[in-house]
Amino acid sequence: MPKKFMKRYLPTPEKVRSMKSLHFLGDILHEPNLWHINRHCVARAFLIGIWFCFIPMPFQMVAAAFCAIWFNANMPLSVALVWISNPLTMPPMFYFNYKVGAWILDRPVMPFEFELSWSWISSRLIDIGIPLYLGSLMLATLTACIAYLAIQYLWRRKIRADWQTRRSLRIKRDRAGNQAS
């Protein structure tokens, strides 16, 4: 995995600890696993961040941060991955989640219409909410698990490739040293 790339763009632990809005967390931010960039912490961060990006809820980043703390995942990466669902990608993602939920429940997909009134929201909450959240939970779990397994696989593959490269360089160096003597 591009460890140097991630280190370049993720905030340092000192920078996050200096944020006054996070002082209520106290010594929790001093936990080293929240800042490590290794296969396990990064894979868990992908699992958490991608799972929360599919769930339609307010304060997704806060929930991802607390889960990262709970599961010892890389917290900055968990929070950053939540932004896969940003204001531009949210409508198509959540509409697709709704369609998947409606398909699982064998309900017809309702035509897109929206009215900003309490009566419309309360009458449509059950009709739209249940398929939306079911589809969101299904797709969040599936996508997050695939991301977790993909990170584990790609990280191991990169390590094996690096080992092979070092091994072949060592063999070439040893052969060159044996031929010179």
Q: What would the pLDDT profile of 35-76 be if each residue is shown by its tens digit?
A: 778 888 899 999 999 999 999 998 898 899 889 988 888 888
The pLDDT value recorded for residue 152 is: 94
Sign of the Cα pseudo-torsion (49, 50, 51, 52, in order): positive
CA distance 97 to 44: 23
Nearest to 2 by CA among 148, 162, 158: 158
Say what the pTM is: 0.76
- Rounded to whole angstroms, the Cα distance separating 153 from 112 reads 40
CA torsion angle for 162, 164, 165, 168 (degrees, to 10)? 160
Cβ atoms of residues 21 and 114 within 8 Å: no
Q: Comparing C-alpha atoms, which of 7, 37, 147, 150 is closest to residue 81? A: 147
The residue ranges of every structural domain in the chain are 3-180
Q: Would you state the structure tokens that stand for residue 31, as one six-digit string?
A: 């936990």
Confidence of residue 13 (pLDDT cuts 50, 70, 90): low
Residue type, 46: F
Place of tokens 């309490």: 118
